Amino acid sequence: MTDRPENASGGGRSAHRPQDSELAIAPRAAVATSRDDESREPLCARRDPVGDPPPAARLAAGGKRRRLRFVVSRYGWRVYALPILVVLTVFVVVDAVRSGTGRPADPIEPGFGALGPPPASAGVIGAPPGDGSFPEDLPIGALPEGGKFTETGKGTWRIVAGTSPRVGVGEQYTFTYTVEVENGIDTRNFGGDESVARMVESTLGNPKSWVHDRKFAFQRIDRGEPDFRISLTARGTTRAACGFDIPIDSSCYNSDEARVVLSEARWVRGAPAFDGDIGSYRQYLVNHEVGHAIGYHGHQPCESEGGLAPVMMQQTFGTANNEIAALDPYGMVPMDGKTCRFNPWPYPRG
Proportion of the chain above pLDDT 70, given as a percent:
65
Residue 317 lies in a domain: yes
Least confident of 71-80, 119-128, 229-238: 71-80
Residue 112 lies in a domain: no
Burial (CB count within 10 angstroms: exposed 0-12, middle 13-18, buried 19+), residue 23: exposed
Residue 255 lies in a domain: yes
Residue 119 lies in a domain: no
Q: Where are the alpha helices (DSSP H) in 178-301?
A: 193-204, 235-241, 264-269, 278-294
Domain that holds residue 271: 124-327
Residue 343 lies in a domain: no
Residue 251 lies in a domain: yes
Which segment, 78-92, 102-116, 246-260, is predicted with the most confidence on average?
246-260
CB 260 within 8 A of CB 290: yes
Closest CA to 313 of 292, 336, 330: 292
Residue 302 lies in a domain: yes
CA distances from 40 to 26, 33, 43, 44, 224 (A): 21, 11, 9, 9, 111
Per-residue confidence (pLDDT) for residue 327, from 0 to 100: 80
Residue 257's Cβ-side half-sphere holds a number of Cα atoms within 13 Å equal to 19
Per-residue confidence (pLDDT) for residue 100, from 0 to 100: 40
Domain count, the chain: 1
pLDDT at 24 over 70: no
The tens digit of pLDDT for each residue in 286-336 reads 999 999 999 999 999 999 999 999 999 999 999 999 988 888 777 889 999
Per-residue confidence (pLDDT) for residue 236, from 0 to 100: 93
Phi/psi zone of residue 82: left (φ > 0), alpha (ψ -120 to 50 degrees), beta? alpha
The tens digit of pLDDT for each residue in 154-186 reads 999 999 999 999 999 999 999 999 999 999 999
Judge if pTM exceeds 0.75. Answer: no
Instruction: Give me the count of residues in the chain.
Output: 350
Question: In CATH, what number is assigned to the domain containing residue 146?
Answer: 3.40.390
CB 202 within 8 A of CB 158: no
Residue 341 lies in a domain: no
